[in-house]
Protein backbone atom coordinates (compact mmCIF):
# COMPACT_ATOMS: atom_id res chain seq x y z
CA UNK A 1 0.00 0.00 0.00
CA UNK A 2 1.20 3.50 -0.82
CA UNK A 3 0.84 6.68 1.22
CA UNK A 4 -1.56 8.02 -1.43
CA UNK A 5 -3.95 5.21 -0.51
CA UNK A 6 -4.52 7.13 2.74
CA UNK A 7 -5.33 10.72 1.91
CA UNK A 8 -7.80 11.32 4.73
CA UNK A 9 -8.31 10.30 8.35
CA UNK A 10 -11.32 8.31 7.16
CA UNK A 11 -9.03 6.30 4.82
CA UNK A 12 -6.82 5.49 7.81
CA UNK A 13 -9.83 4.68 9.97
CA UNK A 14 -11.09 2.19 7.37
CA UNK A 15 -7.71 0.44 7.20
CA UNK A 16 -7.37 0.43 11.00
CA UNK A 17 -10.81 -1.14 11.29
CA UNK A 18 -9.67 -4.04 9.11
CA UNK A 19 -6.56 -4.64 11.23
CA UNK A 20 -7.84 -4.19 14.80
CA UNK A 21 -10.18 -6.63 16.60
CA UNK A 22 -13.72 -5.29 16.79
CA UNK A 23 -13.66 -5.02 20.56
CA UNK A 24 -10.60 -2.74 20.52
CA UNK A 25 -11.67 -0.79 17.43
CA UNK A 26 -15.07 -0.06 18.96
CA UNK A 27 -13.38 1.11 22.15
CA UNK A 28 -11.42 3.64 20.05
CA UNK A 29 -14.10 4.66 17.60
CA UNK A 30 -17.19 4.68 19.77
CA UNK A 31 -18.78 7.24 22.04
CA UNK A 32 -21.50 7.79 24.59
CA UNK A 33 -25.16 6.98 24.07
CA UNK A 34 -26.32 7.05 20.48
CA UNK A 35 -23.05 8.78 19.49
CA UNK A 36 -24.89 11.96 18.49
CA UNK A 37 -22.07 14.02 19.97
CA UNK A 38 -19.51 12.39 17.68
CA UNK A 39 -21.63 13.33 14.65
CA UNK A 40 -22.20 16.83 16.07
CA UNK A 41 -18.45 17.37 16.43
CA UNK A 42 -17.99 16.75 12.70
CA UNK A 43 -21.07 18.74 11.73
CA UNK A 44 -19.86 21.67 13.83
CA UNK A 45 -16.77 21.99 11.67
CA UNK A 46 -18.69 21.40 8.44
CA UNK A 47 -21.06 24.26 9.30
CA UNK A 48 -18.19 26.76 9.41
CA UNK A 49 -16.98 28.10 6.08
CA UNK A 50 -13.68 29.87 5.39
CA UNK A 51 -13.52 32.99 3.26
CA UNK A 52 -11.00 32.82 0.40
CA UNK A 53 -8.99 36.01 -0.19
CA UNK A 54 -6.57 36.47 -3.09
CA UNK A 55 -4.31 39.20 -4.49
CA UNK A 56 -2.00 38.84 -1.50
CA UNK A 57 1.57 37.57 -1.36
CA UNK A 58 1.30 34.24 0.45
CA UNK A 59 4.55 32.71 -0.79
CA UNK A 60 5.87 32.31 2.79
CA UNK A 61 3.59 30.67 5.36
CA UNK A 62 4.13 29.87 9.03
CA UNK A 63 2.29 27.38 11.23
CA UNK A 64 4.61 27.30 14.22
CA UNK A 65 2.97 28.04 17.55
CA UNK A 66 4.58 29.11 20.84
CA UNK A 67 3.01 27.83 24.07
CA UNK A 68 4.43 28.26 27.56
CA UNK A 69 7.82 29.28 26.15
CA UNK A 70 8.21 26.39 23.67
CA UNK A 71 7.80 26.93 19.93
CA UNK A 72 6.15 23.88 18.34
CA UNK A 73 6.50 23.18 14.61
CA UNK A 74 2.83 22.40 14.00
CA UNK A 75 -0.46 23.78 15.34
CA UNK A 76 -1.69 20.37 16.56
CA UNK A 77 -0.73 17.92 19.29
CA UNK A 78 -1.70 14.44 20.47
CA UNK A 79 -4.59 14.19 22.98
CA UNK A 80 -4.38 11.70 25.85
CA UNK A 81 -5.71 8.24 24.96
CA UNK A 82 -6.09 5.72 27.76
CA UNK A 83 -5.46 2.04 27.16
CA UNK A 84 -3.99 2.91 23.77
CA UNK A 85 -1.69 -0.10 23.50
CA UNK A 86 -4.75 -2.30 23.46
CA UNK A 87 -5.76 -0.63 20.20
CA UNK A 88 -2.34 -1.17 18.68
CA UNK A 89 0.76 -2.30 20.59
CA UNK A 90 3.28 0.49 21.30
CA UNK A 91 0.95 3.32 20.23
CA UNK A 92 2.09 5.39 23.22
CA UNK A 93 5.80 5.08 22.47
CA UNK A 94 5.35 5.47 18.70
CA UNK A 95 3.40 8.70 19.15
CA UNK A 96 5.67 10.09 21.86
CA UNK A 97 8.70 9.44 19.62
CA UNK A 98 6.97 11.05 16.66
CA UNK A 99 6.09 14.07 18.83
CA UNK A 100 9.72 14.52 19.85
CA UNK A 101 11.00 14.14 16.29
CA UNK A 102 8.37 16.45 14.80
CA UNK A 103 8.40 18.92 17.69
CA UNK A 104 4.74 18.76 18.75
CA UNK A 105 3.23 18.03 22.20
CA UNK A 106 2.26 14.49 23.17
CA UNK A 107 -0.08 14.02 26.15
CA UNK A 108 0.22 10.83 28.19
CA UNK A 109 -3.00 9.63 29.80
CA UNK A 110 -3.07 8.82 33.51
CA UNK A 111 -4.60 5.52 32.42
CA UNK A 112 -2.04 5.13 29.66
CA UNK A 113 -0.36 1.85 28.93
CA UNK A 114 3.18 3.22 29.19
CA UNK A 115 4.70 4.67 32.32
CA UNK A 116 5.20 8.36 33.03
CA UNK A 117 8.92 7.74 33.44
CA UNK A 118 9.29 5.93 30.10
CA UNK A 119 7.41 8.60 28.14
CA UNK A 120 9.41 11.39 29.79
CA UNK A 121 12.58 9.57 28.75
CA UNK A 122 11.39 9.29 25.13
CA UNK A 123 10.13 12.84 24.78
CA UNK A 124 11.71 14.95 27.55
CA UNK A 125 10.74 18.28 26.01
CA UNK A 126 7.43 17.29 24.44
CA UNK A 127 5.60 15.12 26.98
CA UNK A 128 2.62 16.55 28.83
CA UNK A 129 0.84 14.59 31.56
CA UNK A 130 -2.94 14.19 31.82
CA UNK A 131 -4.32 13.55 35.27
CA UNK A 132 -7.61 12.07 36.40
CA UNK A 133 -8.65 12.80 39.96
CA UNK A 134 -9.98 9.56 41.43
CA UNK A 135 -11.90 9.23 44.66
CA UNK A 136 -8.71 8.17 46.43
CA UNK A 137 -7.12 11.63 46.36
CA UNK A 138 -3.69 10.43 47.38
CA UNK A 139 -3.34 8.65 44.01
CA UNK A 140 -3.65 11.90 42.17
CA UNK A 141 -1.03 13.63 44.33
CA UNK A 142 1.33 10.63 43.96
CA UNK A 143 0.96 10.82 40.18
CA UNK A 144 1.67 14.55 40.25
CA UNK A 145 4.90 13.94 42.16
CA UNK A 146 5.97 11.30 39.67
CA UNK A 147 5.14 13.50 36.68
CA UNK A 148 7.13 16.36 38.18
CA UNK A 149 10.11 14.15 39.05
CA UNK A 150 10.11 12.71 35.54
CA UNK A 151 10.17 16.23 34.06
CA UNK A 152 6.74 16.37 32.41
CA UNK A 153 6.31 19.88 31.07
CA UNK A 154 2.60 20.61 31.29
CA UNK A 155 -0.17 19.20 33.47
CA UNK A 156 -3.61 18.57 31.94
CA UNK A 157 -6.38 17.81 34.45
CA UNK A 158 -9.43 16.17 32.88
CA UNK A 159 -12.70 17.08 34.57
CA UNK A 160 -15.42 15.67 32.31
CA UNK A 161 -15.89 12.25 33.92
CA UNK A 162 -17.91 12.86 37.09
CA UNK A 163 -19.35 9.38 36.50
CA UNK A 164 -18.72 6.83 33.74
CA UNK A 165 -20.78 7.34 30.60
CA UNK A 166 -22.71 4.59 28.86
CA UNK A 167 -20.73 3.54 25.82
CA UNK A 168 -23.08 1.20 24.07
CA UNK A 169 -20.51 -0.47 21.84
CA UNK A 170 -18.35 -1.41 24.85
CA UNK A 171 -21.40 -2.67 26.71
CA UNK A 172 -22.58 -4.73 23.75
CA UNK A 173 -19.09 -6.15 23.22
CA UNK A 174 -18.94 -7.02 26.94
CA UNK A 175 -15.64 -5.16 27.04
CA UNK A 176 -13.62 -6.00 30.15
CA UNK A 177 -9.92 -5.94 30.86
CA UNK A 178 -8.28 -8.40 30.63
CA UNK A 179 -10.46 -9.84 27.88
CA UNK A 180 -12.80 -12.61 28.73
CA UNK A 181 -11.61 -15.19 26.26
CA UNK A 182 -15.04 -16.10 24.93
CA UNK A 183 -15.31 -17.98 21.59
CA UNK A 184 -16.55 -14.73 20.00
CA UNK A 185 -13.48 -12.79 21.12
CA UNK A 186 -11.08 -15.58 20.16
CA UNK A 187 -12.62 -15.57 16.68
CA UNK A 188 -12.40 -11.77 16.55
CA UNK A 189 -8.68 -11.83 17.41
CA UNK A 190 -7.88 -14.77 15.14
CA UNK A 191 -9.07 -12.78 12.16
CA UNK A 192 -6.63 -9.91 12.91
CA UNK A 193 -3.26 -11.70 12.73
CA UNK A 194 -0.96 -8.65 12.60
CA UNK A 195 -2.60 -7.23 15.75
CA UNK A 196 -2.49 -10.65 17.45
CA UNK A 197 1.21 -11.17 16.65
CA UNK A 198 2.19 -7.65 17.70
CA UNK A 199 0.24 -8.03 20.95
CA UNK A 200 1.85 -11.39 21.60
CA UNK A 201 5.31 -9.86 21.04
CA UNK A 202 4.64 -6.87 23.31
CA UNK A 203 2.71 -8.47 26.12
CA UNK A 204 -0.70 -7.70 27.52
CA UNK A 205 -1.35 -3.96 27.82
CA UNK A 206 -1.85 -2.77 31.39
CA UNK A 207 -2.36 0.52 33.19
CA UNK A 208 1.34 1.08 33.80
CA UNK A 209 0.97 4.17 35.96
CA UNK A 210 -1.70 2.67 38.13
CA UNK A 211 -0.03 -0.61 39.01
CA UNK A 212 0.85 0.52 42.56
CA UNK A 213 -2.70 1.71 43.32
CA UNK A 214 -4.98 -0.48 41.28
CA UNK A 215 -5.94 -2.90 44.03
CA UNK A 216 -6.79 0.05 46.17
CA UNK A 217 -8.98 1.62 43.53
CA UNK A 218 -11.23 -1.32 42.84
CA UNK A 219 -11.07 -4.94 43.61
CA UNK A 220 -11.66 -7.39 40.80
CA UNK A 221 -11.73 -6.55 37.13
CA UNK A 222 -9.11 -4.12 36.02
CA UNK A 223 -11.48 -2.31 33.69
CA UNK A 224 -13.59 -1.56 36.74
CA UNK A 225 -10.42 -0.35 38.42
CA UNK A 226 -9.65 1.87 35.46
CA UNK A 227 -13.07 3.42 35.71
CA UNK A 228 -12.62 3.97 39.40
CA UNK A 229 -9.33 5.69 38.61
CA UNK A 230 -10.95 7.99 36.06
CA UNK A 231 -14.17 9.12 37.64
CA UNK A 232 -14.14 12.14 39.90
CA UNK A 233 -17.58 12.86 41.38
CA UNK A 234 -16.01 14.89 44.20
CA UNK A 235 -13.78 17.09 42.05
CA UNK A 236 -14.71 20.67 42.92
CA UNK A 237 -12.96 24.02 42.94
CA UNK A 238 -11.46 23.44 46.37
CA UNK A 239 -9.77 20.20 45.32
CA UNK A 240 -8.67 21.75 42.05
CA UNK A 241 -7.01 24.57 43.98
CA UNK A 242 -5.02 22.00 45.95
CA UNK A 243 -3.94 20.34 42.70
CA UNK A 244 -2.91 23.75 41.40
CA UNK A 245 -0.84 24.34 44.53
CA UNK A 246 0.91 20.98 44.07
CA UNK A 247 2.02 21.70 40.48
CA UNK A 248 4.36 24.57 39.77
CA UNK A 249 4.35 24.36 35.96
CA UNK A 250 1.67 25.25 33.42
CA UNK A 251 -1.68 23.61 34.24
CA UNK A 252 -4.60 23.13 31.84
CA UNK A 253 -8.12 21.97 32.60
CA UNK A 254 -9.53 19.66 29.93
CA UNK A 255 -13.19 19.05 29.22
CA UNK A 256 -14.55 22.60 29.46
CA UNK A 257 -17.63 23.39 27.34
CA UNK A 258 -19.26 26.39 28.99
CA UNK A 259 -18.23 29.95 29.86
CA UNK A 260 -19.17 29.22 33.50
CA UNK A 261 -16.77 26.29 33.78
CA UNK A 262 -14.12 28.34 31.97
CA UNK A 263 -14.47 31.07 34.62
CA UNK A 264 -14.19 28.43 37.34
CA UNK A 265 -10.98 27.15 35.71
CA UNK A 266 -9.63 30.67 35.82
CA UNK A 267 -10.65 31.12 39.46
CA UNK A 268 -8.72 28.03 40.53
CA UNK A 269 -5.60 29.33 38.82
CA UNK A 270 -5.39 27.22 35.65
CA UNK A 271 -3.17 28.70 32.94
CA UNK A 272 -5.44 27.43 30.23
CA UNK A 273 -8.28 25.14 29.24
CA UNK A 274 -8.93 22.53 26.61
CA UNK A 275 -12.41 22.96 25.18
CA UNK A 276 -13.36 19.33 24.69
CA UNK A 277 -16.25 16.90 24.95
CA UNK A 278 -13.83 13.97 25.21
CA UNK A 279 -14.41 13.16 21.54
CA UNK A 280 -18.12 12.54 22.15
CA UNK A 281 -17.44 9.90 24.78
CA UNK A 282 -19.11 11.53 27.80
CA UNK A 283 -22.37 13.50 27.48
CA UNK A 284 -24.07 12.39 24.29
CA UNK A 285 -26.17 15.54 24.04
CA UNK A 286 -23.29 17.94 24.70
CA UNK A 287 -22.43 20.75 22.27
CA UNK A 288 -19.66 20.20 19.77
CA UNK A 289 -16.40 21.67 21.01
CA UNK A 290 -16.18 24.05 18.04
CA UNK A 291 -19.64 25.50 18.75
CA UNK A 292 -18.76 25.87 22.43
CA UNK A 293 -15.50 27.70 21.66
CA UNK A 294 -16.59 31.27 20.74
CA UNK A 295 -18.48 32.03 23.96
CA UNK A 296 -15.62 30.68 26.01
CA UNK A 297 -13.15 32.82 24.08
CA UNK A 298 -15.35 35.87 24.75
CA UNK A 299 -15.41 35.08 28.46
CA UNK A 300 -11.78 34.20 29.26
CA UNK A 301 -9.84 34.47 25.99
CA UNK A 302 -7.88 37.52 27.10
CA UNK A 303 -6.53 35.91 30.23
CA UNK A 304 -6.12 32.17 29.49
CA UNK A 305 -4.64 29.92 26.83
CA UNK A 306 -7.53 28.23 25.05
CA UNK A 307 -7.08 24.94 23.26
CA UNK A 308 -9.57 22.60 21.63
CA UNK A 309 -10.06 18.98 20.66
CA UNK A 310 -12.94 16.68 19.62
CA UNK A 311 -13.74 15.97 16.00
CA UNK A 312 -10.67 17.52 14.35
CA UNK A 313 -10.05 15.49 11.18
CA UNK A 314 -8.59 17.93 8.62
CA UNK A 315 -6.23 20.87 8.36
CA UNK A 316 -9.26 22.98 7.54
CA UNK A 317 -10.76 22.07 10.92
CA UNK A 318 -7.57 23.24 12.61
CA UNK A 319 -7.66 26.56 10.74
CA UNK A 320 -11.33 27.07 11.69
CA UNK A 321 -10.57 26.52 15.37
CA UNK A 322 -7.77 29.10 15.25
CA UNK A 323 -10.07 31.54 13.44
CA UNK A 324 -12.54 31.19 16.32
CA UNK A 325 -9.88 31.97 18.90
CA UNK A 326 -8.16 28.68 19.79
CA UNK A 327 -4.49 29.03 20.72
CA UNK A 328 -3.81 25.34 19.99
CA UNK A 329 -5.60 22.22 18.79
CA UNK A 330 -5.36 18.49 19.54
CA UNK A 331 -6.69 15.24 18.15
CA UNK A 332 -6.98 11.85 19.79
CA UNK A 333 -8.44 9.32 17.39
CA UNK A 334 -6.77 10.71 14.23
CA UNK A 335 -3.28 9.79 15.42
CA UNK A 336 -4.37 6.39 16.74
CA UNK A 337 -6.17 5.56 13.48
CA UNK A 338 -2.87 6.40 11.78
CA UNK A 339 -0.93 3.89 13.88
CA UNK A 340 -3.70 1.29 13.60
CA UNK A 341 -3.52 1.58 9.82
CA UNK A 342 0.19 2.02 9.18
CA UNK A 343 1.99 1.02 12.38
CA UNK A 344 4.92 3.09 13.60
CA UNK A 345 4.86 5.44 10.58
CA UNK A 346 1.18 6.24 11.05
CA UNK A 347 1.48 9.14 13.49
CA UNK A 348 3.86 11.03 11.24
CA UNK A 349 1.62 10.36 8.24
CA UNK A 350 -1.30 11.96 10.08
CA UNK A 351 0.78 14.95 11.12
CA UNK A 352 2.04 15.46 7.54
CA UNK A 353 -1.52 15.32 6.29
CA UNK A 354 -2.68 17.94 8.81
CA UNK A 355 0.33 20.21 8.18
CA UNK A 356 -0.09 20.10 4.41
CA UNK A 357 -3.80 20.84 4.64
CA UNK A 358 -3.24 23.73 7.09
CA UNK A 359 -0.64 25.15 4.71
CA UNK A 360 -2.99 24.94 1.73
CA UNK A 361 -5.88 26.48 3.67
CA UNK A 362 -3.69 29.37 4.88
CA UNK A 363 -2.63 30.15 1.31
CA UNK A 364 -6.21 29.92 0.03
CA UNK A 365 -7.59 32.35 2.58
CA UNK A 366 -4.68 34.75 2.13
CA UNK A 367 -3.17 34.36 5.61
CA UNK A 368 0.59 33.89 5.97
CA UNK A 369 0.79 33.09 9.68
CA UNK A 370 -1.43 30.91 11.82
CA UNK A 371 -0.99 33.46 14.61
CA UNK A 372 -2.92 35.99 12.52
CA UNK A 373 -6.05 33.87 12.01
CA UNK A 374 -9.25 35.42 13.26
CA UNK A 375 -12.93 35.93 12.53
CA UNK A 376 -12.14 37.96 9.41
CA UNK A 377 -11.14 34.71 7.67
CA UNK A 378 -14.56 33.16 8.25
CA UNK A 379 -17.36 33.44 5.72
CA UNK A 380 -20.10 35.63 7.18
CA UNK A 381 -23.42 34.63 5.56
C1 LIG B 1 -9.89 5.54 23.03
C2 LIG B 1 -9.87 6.87 23.71
C3 LIG B 1 -9.35 6.97 25.00
C4 LIG B 1 -9.31 8.21 25.63
N5 LIG B 1 -8.73 8.31 26.87
C6 LIG B 1 -8.63 9.53 27.44
C7 LIG B 1 -7.94 9.67 28.66
O8 LIG B 1 -7.39 8.73 29.21
N9 LIG B 1 -7.89 10.91 29.21
C10 LIG B 1 -8.48 12.01 28.63
O11 LIG B 1 -8.41 13.12 29.16
N12 LIG B 1 -9.12 11.89 27.45
C13 LIG B 1 -9.19 10.69 26.84
N14 LIG B 1 -9.80 10.59 25.64
C15 LIG B 1 -10.30 11.79 24.98
C16 LIG B 1 -9.19 12.42 24.14
O17 LIG B 1 -8.16 12.92 24.94
C18 LIG B 1 -9.71 13.55 23.27
O19 LIG B 1 -10.40 14.47 24.07
C20 LIG B 1 -10.62 13.07 22.15
O21 LIG B 1 -10.13 11.87 21.59
C22 LIG B 1 -10.72 14.14 21.09
O23 LIG B 1 -11.60 13.79 20.09
P24 LIG B 1 -11.15 13.11 18.70
O25 LIG B 1 -10.82 11.70 19.02
O26 LIG B 1 -12.36 13.27 17.87
O27 LIG B 1 -9.94 13.87 18.18
C28 LIG B 1 -9.84 9.35 24.98
C29 LIG B 1 -10.35 9.25 23.69
C30 LIG B 1 -10.36 8.02 23.06
C31 LIG B 1 -10.88 7.95 21.65
Q: What is the pLDDT of residues 66-114, one digit of tens each?
A: 999 999 999 999 999 999 999 999 999 999 999 999 999 999 999 999 9
> What is the distance, to the nearest Å, from the Cα of residue 80 to the centroid of all Cα atoms in its chain?
4
Q: Which of 55-64, 193-202, 243-252, 263-272 has the lowest mean pLDDT?
A: 193-202
Q: Tell me the C-alpha distance between 11 and 27, whole Å.
A: 19
> For the segment 205-239, what is each residue's pLDDT rounded down to a tens digit?
888 888 888 765 554 445 566 677 888 899 999 99
Cα 35 to ligand 1 centre (Å) = 14
Q: Mutate which of 78, 79, 256, 328 to test ligand 1's pocket (most atoms within 8 Å of Cβ)?
A: 79
Residue (of 30, 3, 11) closest to 280 by Cα position: 30
Q: Is the CB of 31 under 6 A from ligand 1?
A: no
Residue 225's pLDDT is: 65
Q: Is the CB of 314 under 6 A from ligand 1?
A: no
158 backbone dihedrals φ, ψ, rounded to 5° = -90, 130
Between 230 and 179, the more confident residue is: 230
Residue nearest to ligand 1 atom 4, measured at CA: 81
Q: Tell me the C-alpha distance between 258 and 265, whole Å.
A: 11
Query: In order of start, what are the domains of the chain with their CATH numbers?
Result: 3-377 (3.20.20.70)
Q: Is the CB of 309 under 6 A from ligand 1?
A: yes
**Range 153-159 average pLDDT:** 97
Give yes or no for a contact between 3 and 12, defined as CB atoms under 8 angstroms apart. no
Instruction: Answer yes or no: is pLDDT of 177 > 80.
Output: no
The SS3 call for residue 67 is strand
Using left for φ > 0, alpha for ψ between -120 and 50, and beta otherwise, residue 158 falls in: beta
235 backbone dihedrals φ, ψ, rounded to 5° = -75, 110
Cα 324 to ligand 1 centre (Å) = 22
CB atoms within 10 A of CB 15: 19
Of 70, 126, 278, 349, which one is the catalytic site residue?
278
Residue 219's pLDDT is: 43
Q: Which of 112-126, 214-228, 276-290 has the lowest mean pLDDT?
A: 214-228
pTM of the model: 0.97
- The number of the ligand 1 atom at minimal distance from the alpha carbon of 38 is 26
Q: Which of 116-125, 152-161, 170-179 has the lowest mean pLDDT?
A: 170-179
Q: Would residue 278 show up in a list of annotated catalytic residues for this protein?
A: yes
Q: Is the CB of 107 under 6 A from ligand 1?
A: no
Residue-wise over 219-237: b if at least 16 C-beta within 10 A, else e?
eeebbebbbbbbbbeebee
DSSP state of 274: E
> For the segment 324-342, what is each residue's pLDDT rounded down to a tens digit?
999 999 999 999 999 999 9
Q: Is the CB of 331 under 6 A from ligand 1?
A: yes
Amino acid sequence: MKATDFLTIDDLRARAKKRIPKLAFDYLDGGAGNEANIARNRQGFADIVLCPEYLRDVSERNQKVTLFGHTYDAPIGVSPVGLANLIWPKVDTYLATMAREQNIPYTLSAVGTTSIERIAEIAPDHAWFQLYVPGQEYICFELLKRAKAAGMKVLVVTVDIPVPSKRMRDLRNDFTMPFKMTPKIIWDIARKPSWALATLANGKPRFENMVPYIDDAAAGKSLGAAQALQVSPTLDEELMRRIRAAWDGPMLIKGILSPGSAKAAKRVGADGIIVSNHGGRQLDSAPSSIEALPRIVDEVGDSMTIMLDSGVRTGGDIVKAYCLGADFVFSGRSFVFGVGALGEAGGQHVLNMFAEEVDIALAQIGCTDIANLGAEYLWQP
